[in-house]
Amino acid sequence: MRVHELRLRDLLADAGYANGSNYALLEAQEVTAWIPVFGQYKAEIEGFTYDAPQDVYHCRAGKVLPFRKYDTTTDGHWSKIYWATCQDCQQCPLKPTCVPGAKRKQLTRTIYDALYRRAWLRQHTRRGQRMRRLCQGTAEPVFGNLIHLYGLRRMNVRGHAGAHKTMLLTAIAYNLKKLLKYRPQAPGKPGYGPAKACFSR
């Protein structure tokens, strides 16, 4: 792409590619990621509002939960920990419903929370909905065909290089099949166009 001076501005992928490092890499390269955030992510925490400039949370009682430290989850992902003081929680009338079994309230967020939030907001825009339908109508059917009809339910080779070659050969076979089905109309008739129109994927 760099050789031909083509600049990638938008990238469309399914939720399997939704992770913080991908969002960060694409944003650093000024590429808009149209990758839907997985369903477990919650942009808002019920009962708490986030103050981005101060990097703190505020609870319904008006108490502050500032950022305290970084930590890692059981699967090795980095997270940010916020918590209120024990004094604030112990004297709070909402403690029996907010944090009944602990001395203080603690919130854990991924270090990529800002990136996830921006991606989440994008996917709920009108353009985001259009991109979702585009992905469902182009990329996902292709993967379905490759898995169920072209033998990619599993890789019979080892290593990234072998898997890459297998994917390329399978994609070539898929596109050749589309090309063989392509029937251009006579010049001057609606729908006439070059054969490259069949390579939408």
DSSP assigned state of 102? S
pLDDT at residue number 192? 47
Concatenated DSSP letters for 35-97? -PPPTT--SS-TTEEEETTTTEEEETTS-EEEEEEEEE-TTS-EEEEEE--HHHHHT-TTHHH
pLDDT at residue number 201? 37
- Dihedral sign from CA coordinates of 162, 168, 174, 176: negative
pLDDT at residue number 136? 78
The whole model's pTM is what? Answer: 0.68
Mean pLDDT by groups of 10 residues along the chain of 201 residues: 72 87 93 88 90 94 95 89 95 92 93 94 92 80 79 82 86 86 68 39 37
pLDDT at residue number 188? 58
SS3 184: coil
